[in-house]
């Protein structure tokens, strides 16, 4: 049975905890220090303070000792979130999610107008986000939403914010849909309450997601500014067209492909500039021209289109045939070290006074000296209509390179080119896609059926991703987010202090006293709004940890089921729509959408109010309050 005595016995520590919370929130908002430093500093302050001013139990033990304060680093919810990040990275790394997204894009492009296209795309985002971390989902769909915006002649600013919100909606529907949900669940376990099951709040989550989906599809594009300049800046990078070439192999999927209207359907978003067959040149239009084995297609395409071609086609399709006699006499061409290991795509610029200037790729032997293949050349002055193997390089040419990451990194020491470091990105390893999908499916199956606890399922899934070589150990560690680790650990430490000093009871009693005589539904509604407002000021995860003990204490005071108030924390903490600070996906879409802070306020405040109304109308009825 819960006793309301800690707050009286530990009033000094309770008020000190409130001060620590206020100061931490101030630092998070002002960004005077990184989130990691603020979180670690807060933990250190709590360790020192409660060492000298302990909260003593009746048996003489310090209730907020270092073990309790540092317990957040080993909290099952944190371990689950980190493990799911690794599993999600495996899905992204193998191109599994990206491939599915591209299929959806091809379907959306051929159906209806912009509203229907946005609706279909956002439903897919919601579905995926229910089972995967929201951040990689948003990263994958940003270029897809940009492509849809271009398809309908709209600015990307109309599509980016709905994308972020849809990912949040998806996270509301299952227990693993968001780290916020897992933290609330973990806090319930810490307090001895019945935890949520995998699909326990799926029904109310779908109701709220449906209401929000209508709003972001129909109303939000009308509220958002049409910032063509921001869209142009984004498209300027993607609009660069590299010259490349395709050598059609004996078993290539392109064999037998015919041009309809001068366009080859097997080469989406790629412009064929000329075709070489038996030393004869065929120029556009290619009406009824049929591709045959050993044809050489000279193409122009954006980096994104070339990346898709590299990942969905047979290996080496974009690797030009080179006769580099010097290497052929002394080397073993069958080894092809440039195809070994994890592949990355990067750009490098030919510098003035480079030894490459005036020479062709065949003469240079670039791939044999660097173990990197030039799959495209960008010449800013004009688009050359010739094979890239015949182009004599000039200063300022940008080479699109593919190769093992260690060899691409080695170009930093190359005096002939300068590596454009921000341009480096990993290529999906499609050979492991089935493994990744199988592991992910088992993680979801075991967690959803309750065969094993979620933390066991997620951690075993992360280990399997490494054991079955879907990703390596370095990639697994890179998938982890230091902000998540430190912020969650600090929030959990504050939650312990808030609970053991009686702060949670104090706030709960204060809220109940202020609403004396009001119904349970009204108290629940006001509490939801309080958490939702807080989530737009500070981190959603911090709100989840801090408000869960308050929610349980309010339910105990008024005799209501704790599940309803815990669910209020789950949904309200996810309602960080009115600020880019509360949720990381909002920050991700700021640059692509060209948004300002007030754009989130203008669009997000009505959405928060809508979620509040839907929650107030449905959840009390759902729990029969």
List all residues 6 or more positions away from 40 whose beta carbon is below 8 Å from its beta carbon.
486, 490
Give the pLDDT score at 567. 93
Contact 338, 366 (CB under 8 A): no
Give the pLDDT score at 46. 92
Give the pLDDT score at 480. 82
Contact 110, 526 (CB under 8 A): no
Distance CA 426, CA 424 (A): 7
CATH number of 343-428: 3.30.70.1450
List all residues 6 or more positions away from 257 whose beta carbon is below 8 Å from its beta carbon.
264, 265, 266, 290, 291
The Cβ-side half-sphere exposure at 477, using a 13 Å CA radius, reads: 2
Tokens of 591: 């640059």
- 3-class DSSP state for residue 403? strand
CA distances from 442 to 83, 253, 432, 438, 460 (A): 14, 33, 16, 6, 10
Contact 220, 584 (CB under 8 A): no
Give the pLDDT means over successive 10-residue stretches in the chain (625 positions): 44 88 78 80 92 84 87 82 83 72 63 79 89 78 77 82 92 87 84 85 93 93 71 48 82 78 74 82 78 83 78 67 48 56 82 88 82 84 73 88 84 85 73 83 85 88 90 84 79 81 80 82 91 80 81 87 91 87 74 81 92 93 83
Distance CA 69, CA 46 (A): 7
In this structure, are strands 296-302 and 343-350 parallel, antiparallel, or unpaired? unpaired
Where does the chain hold its CATH 3.30.70.1450 domain(s)?
343-428
In this structure, are strands 296-302 and 417-426 parallel, antiparallel, or unpaired? unpaired
Tokens of 129: 């986000």
Tokens of 615: 């929650």
Contact 200, 207 (CB under 8 A): no
The Cβ-side half-sphere exposure at 6, using a 13 Å CA radius, reads: 24
Distance CA 110, CA 139 (A): 23
Interior CA angle at 416 toward 412 and 422, to 5°? 40
Handedness of CA 341, 347, 353, 355 (dihedral sign): positive
Contact 173, 148 (CB under 8 A): no
Give the pLDDT score at 494. 83
The number of helix segments (H) and strand segments (E) in the chain equals: 28, 8
Give the pLDDT score at 459. 92
Handedness of CA 173, 179, 180, 182 (dihedral sign): positive
Neighbours of 288 (CB within 10 A): 9
List all residues 6 or more positions away from 55 whose beta carbon is below 8 Å from its beta carbon.
6, 10, 13, 62, 63, 64, 500, 501
């Amino acid at each position: 049975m819960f006793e309301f005595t800690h707050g009286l016995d530990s009033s000094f520590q309770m008020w000190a905890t409130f001060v620590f919370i206020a100061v931490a929130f101030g630092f998070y908002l002002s960004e005077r220090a990184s989130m990691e430093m603020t979180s670690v500093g807060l933990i250190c302050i709590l360790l020192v303070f409660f060492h000298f001013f302990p909260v003593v139990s009746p048996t003489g033990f310090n209730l907020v000792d270092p073990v309790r304060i540092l317990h957040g680093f080993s909290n099952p919810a944190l371990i689950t979130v980190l493990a799911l990040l690794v599993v999600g990275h495996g899905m992204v790394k193998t191109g599994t999610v990206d491939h599915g997204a591209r299929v959806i894009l091809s379907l959306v492009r051929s159906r209806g107008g912009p509203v229907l296209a946005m609706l279909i795309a956002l439903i897919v985002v919601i579905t995926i986000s229910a089972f995967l971390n929201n951040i990689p989902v948003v990263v994958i769909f940003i270029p897809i939403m940009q492509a849809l915006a271009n398809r309908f002649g709209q600015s990307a600013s109309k599509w980016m914010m709905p994308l972020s919100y849809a990912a949040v909606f998806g996270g509301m529907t299952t227990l693993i849909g968001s780290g916020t949900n897992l933290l609330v669940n973990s806090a319930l376990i810490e307090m001895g309450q019945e935890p949520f099951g995998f699909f326990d709040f799926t029904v109310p989550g779908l109701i709220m997601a449906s209401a929000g989906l209508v709003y972001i599809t129909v109303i939000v594009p009308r509220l958002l500014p049409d910032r063509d300049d921001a869209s142009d800046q984004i498209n300027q990078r993607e609009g660069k067209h590299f010259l490349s070439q395709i050598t059609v192999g004996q078993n290539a999927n392109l064999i037998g492909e015919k041009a309809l209207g001068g366009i080859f359907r097997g080469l989406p978003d790629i412009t064929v500039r000329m075709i070489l067959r038996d030393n004869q040149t065929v120029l556009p239009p290619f009406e009824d021209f049929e591709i045959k084995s050993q044809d050489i297609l000279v193409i122009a395409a954006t980096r994104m289109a070339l990346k898709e071609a590299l990942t969905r086609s047979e290996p080496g399709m974009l690797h030009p045939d080179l006769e580099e006699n010097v290497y052929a006499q002394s080397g073993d061409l069958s080894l092809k070290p440039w195809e070994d290991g994890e592949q990355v795509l990067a750009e490098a610029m030919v510098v003035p006074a480079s030894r490459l200037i005036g020479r062709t790729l065949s003469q240079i032997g670039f791939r044999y000296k660097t173990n990197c293949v030039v799959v495209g050349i960008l010449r800013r002055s004009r688009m050359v209509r010739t094979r890239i193997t015949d182009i004599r390089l000039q200063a300022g040419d940008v080479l699109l390179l593919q190769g093992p990451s260690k060899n691409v990194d080695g170009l930093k020491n190359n005096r002939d080119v300068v590596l454009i470091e921000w341009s480096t990105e990993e290529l999906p390893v499609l050979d492991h896609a089935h493994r990744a999908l199988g592991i992910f499916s088992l993680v979801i199956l075991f967690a959803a059926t309750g065969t094993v606890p979620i933390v066991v399922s997620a951690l075993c899934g992360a280990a399997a991703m490494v054991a079955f070589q879907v990703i390596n150990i370095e990639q697994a560690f890179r998938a982890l987010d230091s902000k998540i680790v430190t912020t969650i650990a600090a929030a959990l430490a504050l939650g312990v202090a808030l609970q053991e000093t009686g702060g949670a009871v104090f706030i709960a009693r204060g809220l109940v006293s202020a609403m004396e005589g009001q119904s349970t539904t009204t108290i629940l509604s006001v509490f939801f709004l309080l958490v939702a407002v807080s989530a737009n000021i500070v981190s959603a995860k911090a709100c989840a940890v801090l408000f869960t003990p308050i929610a349980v204490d309010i339910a105990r005071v008024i005799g209501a089921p704790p599940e309803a108030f815990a669910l209020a924390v789950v949904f309200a903490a996810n309602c960080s729509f009115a600020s880019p600070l509360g949720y990381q996906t909002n920050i991700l879409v700021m640059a692509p959408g060209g948004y300002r802070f007030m754009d989130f306020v203008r669009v997000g405040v009505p959405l928060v109010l809508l979620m509040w109304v839907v929650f107030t109308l449905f959840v009390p009825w759902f729990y029969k309050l």
